[in-house]
Amino acid sequence: MDKMKLSRMAFYGYHGVFPEENKLGQRFYVDLELTLDLSEAGRTDDLAATVNYAEVYERVKRIVEGRPFRLIEALAENVASDVLHQYTNVNDVTVRVVKPHPPFDIHFDGVTVEICRKRESI
């Protein structure tokens, strides 16, 4: 199978367990890896034979910048579910959500959640 990757999409959201996170918000980064057959699109140069990544970006943006989730696991799950429901030619999707500045008094480059969902699991 072929892959389409959307890397380091940046959005501002209000996700987190702590009230300050829901009030102040912060930047989140999302990576998607879609597995699908791109051979027809490659042969025909036809957008209808693939996934419009600009459209995918807008769908992810609506989710991340929409209602707050307590957990980035839930945010990732919602993105994966939306992609698999909207794009029937996508066989599976990997979603990575990065919260670069979690509100802890420790120093590291953020926390990342990565989930993989297959079409048969929706």
Query: Has 118 been annotated as catalytic?
Result: no
Provide the 8-state DSSP code for 121.
G
Q: Quick one: tokens of 5?
A: 């990757």
- β-pairing, 90-99 vs 2-13, is unpaired
Q: Which of 5, 61, 99, 118 is catalytic?
A: 99
Nearest to 97 by CA among 55, 68, 62, 64: 64
Give the residue numbers annotated as catalytic, written as ranges. Answer: 99
